[in-house]
Structure formats: C-alpha cells, structure tokens
Amino acid sequence: MNHQFTPETTGSIAGARRHATGDLLRRTALRYPGKTAVIADGRRADFAEFDLAVTRCANALAARGLSKGDRLALLSHNSWQFAVLVFATARLGVVLVPVNFMLGAEEIAFILTHSGAAGMVAENALAPTADRATALAGLSGGVRGRIGAAASGEWEDVDTWIDAGDETPVDVPVGDDDPLRLMYTSGTESRPKGVLLSSRSLISQYVSCAIDGGMSADDVEVHALPMYHCAQLDCFFSVDVYLGATSVILPSPEPAALLATIESERATKLFCPPTVWISLLRHPDFDSRDLSSLRKGYYGASAMPVEVLRELRERLPDVRLWNFYGQTEMSPLATILRPHEQLPHAGSAGRAALNVETRVVDEEDRPLPPGRVGEIVHRSPHAALGYYGDEEKTAEAFRGGWFHSGDLGVVDEEGYLTVVDRKKDMIKTGGENVASREVEEALYLLDGVAEVAVFGIGHPRWIEAVTAVVVPRAGSALTVEDVQAHAREVLASYKRPKYVVFADALPKNPSGKILKKDLRVEHAKLSAEDS
C-alpha cells in the first residue's frame, strides 16, 4: 500500500521511528540513570553521567567541524575516553575508525589515507606512532585529540571535551543504513579491507547477542580484549550499554590484573579467546582468587580445544559457556554454541544466531548436504554495507545475495556447524587435505601441552608439510619425541606433523588470535634439509 504524506509528515514519522546506535545510551540512561555504567581508569560513572559525557564530547566534535559521514580515527588501548568516543561519534553520525594499536606508522597511515579520515584521536602512549602516521598520510588540520595528556601543539586533551562544555542534546538524524563504523580487517592480504557497518548491522547483531548469549541488565562484565576489535566492542561492551549492564574496562587482558578485577568487582561475565582462557588457567593466581561471582563465559576468535573446555568446566563449574563465531563483516556474530551444547557438540561453532541464516556451499555456491565440506556463507541484517572503496572485493564477497566468509565448514544432520579451517589454513600435503584444527585437537590430548599451533610449510616432496609448534606446560618434561609418538597413536600418517618445534610462546595479535602467518615465515626453512 502506497501512503502519500507530505514531506513534513514523512519527516515526523521518521523521527518518531528513529532507532540508531547513538540513541541506545540515552534510552538506557532514562531507564537506569543512577546505575553504574562504566568503571575505567579509576572512574566510576553511572548511566546519566556517561550519557552526559557523550553529549559533551559529541558537541565538542561538532564544534571542531565534524559532521555526519566524516571519519574519525581512534588509536588507543581500552579506556574511559574510548568508551565515550564510541557513542559520541554514533550520536553525530560520524564514522568511527578504530585502529589496531599494534600497527606501525606506515600501516596506520594507509588506514588514515584510505578512510579519508577528517581527524584522529590517539592515546598519549602511542603519540610518536600517531605523529609519524599523520605525517606520512599528509593529514594536517582537522580534529586532533590526545588521551591521557594535556594539550600540546595541535593536539587537544580529550578530557576537556568530555568533562565540561555544551550539554545541549544532540539531534542528528541517523538512518538505519548510514555508516557508523569503518573497521579494518587484520586479514592476510598486503592491505587491510575497510568494513562499513551501519546502525542496522550493529543493532540487529546486539539483539542476537543478547537473546542467544543469555545477556541481561544484571551483568557485570570485564572488558579486557581490545575494543578496537568488534568482538569486544560490539558483541559485549555495546550490548551491555544497550541492556543497562555494568562494564569494567581494562587496558589489556594481563592475567593477574584480569583475575584480580573479577574478584574485586564481583564480575559475572567474561569474554576471552581460547588463548586468554588458557593463560588464566595457567596463571598461579587462578586458584587463589575468588572467582565465584562468574556465571557467564564466552569465547571466540578460534575454537576452544576440547581438553581446555573440559578443564574450564572442572575448575569453573558454575560458569556457563558460549562459543561466538563470526567475522568483522557480520558485525561480527554469525553462529552460537550454547551452554548445554558445549560438551555434546565440543568443537562446533553451533547454529545460526537469532537474526542469521547460515549455509555451506560448494565452489559453484550450491548448498551442500550435511557432512560435506564447503565455504560458510551467511544472510543477515548483521552483514556489513560492503568494503569501503572496493567494488570488486565487495561484489565477490556478497555474490548471490550471501556473504562469503572465506571459512571452510561442515554442517551435521542436526544443523550444527563445524569450522574446518580458513581456506588459507587448509594444509595440502601429498595430495591430501589436512585441517590444522583437527591436528591441534589431537595434540591437546597429550599431557604437558599448554598450547599448540599447526600449519603448513612448503616442502619439495609433499608440497606442504604439516608442522606443529608446541608450548609445553611449565615444569613439564615433554619432549619432541613424546609429541611424535602421540601423533603416531592418534593420527593417520598423512596428518602427523613432519616437523615439531618447541617454543616458549606463540605469536598472537591483541585479539588473542595465533599469528600462523608469522609462524610460517619463521619456520619456512625447516624442510630445506629434505630438498
């Protein structure tokens, strides 16, 4: 039915129906004004105070020339100011560009240039890198903010935007599909892709997280993984703000501080990738800290080794666990494995989340039956608007009306998805395909293995050779020969690692993902003697 209204009436209706990311905090502040919203950097702010800080910051950004559609880069560890800027930019319709603080100046300069950033906010500890990046990008003028330092030169103290100033309510109409975030993937390509996310992408994803992830306003959550990544930022922190839960923000997932914070703040909820959960389990403070308040645990970024999952269930018996699987382009949630499914479907990524449809397809994008390995694809309002400035990659990733994840997976008869591997991580050895995850799971069964990464390196005979880097548990007498003997017992001959290397630690990015590309480079010459 075609309703004919005047432009004025149509605009009034649009205003009455508005539901953008920038509106969420204001609504929560009206519901729970005096409830603690954010604990960070020695500050405790209730929702009314948090909302007022966001309003001041948004007005300060607007006064400095930022308006709807402009891009603002943010280079910082987790902080109170980071939390405020997330919602201040959303309220203005400004596109926030969170930047990985582990990147070098040249890499950051690419992001500044590619995104067309109209300004930058940087943490003082990262000031030298920020200064060099802006110089390399030729970024002059515009908004410049410093976190944790007084004004210097063209850089202003962000706290002056937040703690005082114009408190007039911000009224910028932001549509469902107006971009609000530009997230740069950490991918394997020479240059990262900029993923555009809208209010519709984000809010529909928040709803899926809250409903299928068992989240509520009663939660007290510690946010220790980097908020520049959409897992911590949008599966957890922003959902907590939406629901009215309390967020405790830490600058990093340092195990001792994380365990102490859970105890002191009586935290009920925690997200960590498996590598960080492992670091907590292995830390000497784990058994001495009172972790009895914890009720909900979440993991993602990679599958939880089954042996570690069992250990978590034993040592934290009151904690229900969820596995969140997805990628940046899905804002990022796609599928969930729920608490009652953890052991019966250990290693699975679960089933499609509330607002998601997932299938596995062949090379021709035809749906595959249960038991057949293919590419995992999704259809959902979670999906991104595309890759900024890249028509070709957007068309390829979204062909046929589905987002193509680049992950290989298989669905069983009950609809549970198992992620076999990234396409790039599938090892092709002697004419056979070997999933690195399967070999890792087998090696985790061996006593004395703390962490393991399996990958392929070039080999003159086998094309690729299965290679394992093992981190032994502290005090373990484990040897390379022990690992090889165990592999002979539990793995088919072509799946057994041809090379086993011991290491003190595995290289990881700030999100806790193991950097297999670094391991491939480091150990590429292992096969030289077989030439």
- Provide the pLDDT for residue 304: 83
Residues spanned by the domain of 259: 203-358
Region 114-142 average pLDDT: 95
Ramachandran angles phi, psi of 155, nearest 5°: -90, 130
Task: Tell me which of 78-82, 147-151, 221-225, 469-473 is least confident.
Answer: 147-151
Regarding whether 207 and 172 lie in a shared domain, the answer is: no
Is residue 386 in some structural domain?
Answer: no
User: Who contacts 136 (Cβ-Cβ below 8 Å, separation ≥6)?
Assistant: 105, 106, 109
Domain final position from 325, 358, 391: 358
Give a yes or no: residue 368 inside a domain. Answer: no
pLDDT score of 190: 53
In terms of domains, do 170 and 218 share one? no
Residue 105 lies in a domain: yes
At residue 476, does pLDDT exceed 60?
A: yes
* Whole-angstrom Cα Rg for the chain: 24
Of 317, 336, 358, which closes a domain? Answer: 358
Name the domain boundary from 167, 201, 235: 201
Beta strands in 185-272 (DSSP E): 194-198, 220-223, 246-249, 269-271
Question: Which pLDDT score is estimated for 188?
Answer: 41
pLDDT of 530 over the 80 cut: no
Residue 285: CA count within 13 A, CB half-sphere:
15
Confidence of residue 7 (pLDDT cuts 50, 70, 90): very high
pLDDT at 35 over 90: yes
pLDDT at 1 over 60: no
With tokens 């203005």, the residue in question is: 92
Residue of 203, 122, 499 whose CA lies nearest to 380 = 203
Mean per-residue pLDDT for 526-531?
A: 76
Encode pLDDT of 330-355 as tens digits.
Answer: 999 999 999 999 989 988 999 999 99
Note the pLDDT of residue 189: 46
Residue 22 contacts by C-beta under 8 Å, 6 or more apart in sequence?
Answer: 87, 90, 91, 92, 93, 170, 172, 174, 180, 199
CATH assignment at residue 438 = 3.30.300.30
The pLDDT of residue 511 is 66
How many structural domains are present in the chain?
A: 3
The answer as to whether 176 is a domain residue is yes
Tens of pLDDT, residue by residue over 477-518, are 999 999 999 999 888 888 999 999 999 999 987 667 788 889
Helix (H, G, I), strand (E, B) or coil at 122: strand
Is the confidence at residue 308, as pLDDT, over 80?
yes
Mean pLDDT of the chain: 93
The answer to whether residues 184 and 253 belong to one domain is no
Are 26 and 63 members of one domain? yes
Both 197 and 221 in a single domain?
Answer: no
pLDDT of residue 302: 72
In a domain, 168, yes or no: yes
Q: Does residue 411 lie within any of the structural domains?
A: no
Burial of 439 (0-12, 13-18, 19+ CB in 10 A): buried
> 208 and 154 share a domain?
no
The predicted pLDDT at position 186 comes to: 63
463: pLDDT confidence band, cut at 50, 70 and 90? Answer: confident
Region of poorest pLDDT, from 120-134, 140-154, 182-196, 468-482: 182-196
For 111, half-sphere exposure in the C-beta direction (CA atoms, 13 angstrom radius) is 30
Angle at 283 between CA 280 and CA 284, to 5 degrees: 140
The verdict on 169 and 261 lying in the same domain is: no
Range 134-142 average pLDDT? 91
Distances (CA, A) of 157 to 58, 106, 145, 297: 15, 25, 6, 36
pLDDT at 531 over 60: no
Strands 43-46, 320-326: pairing is: unpaired
Contact indicator for 248, 265 with CB cutoff of 8 Å: yes
Mean pLDDT across the stretch 368-373? 96
The vertex-182 CA angle with 177 and 186, nearest 5°, equals 135
For residue 332, whether the previous peptide bond is cis, meaning omega lies within 30 degrees of 0, is yes
Residue 372: inside a domain, yes or no? no
Q: Are 170 and 159 in contact (CB under 8 A)?
A: no
- Stretch 190-200: mean pLDDT: 90
Number of continuous H segments (helices) and E segments (strands) in the chain: 17, 26
pLDDT band at 323 (very low <50, low <70, confident <90, very high): very high
- Tokens 């939406």 locate to 242
Residues 236 and 281 occupy one common structural domain: yes
Residues 227 and 197 in one domain: no
Bridge-based pairing state of the strands 386-387 and 194-198: antiparallel
Residue 290 lies in a domain: yes
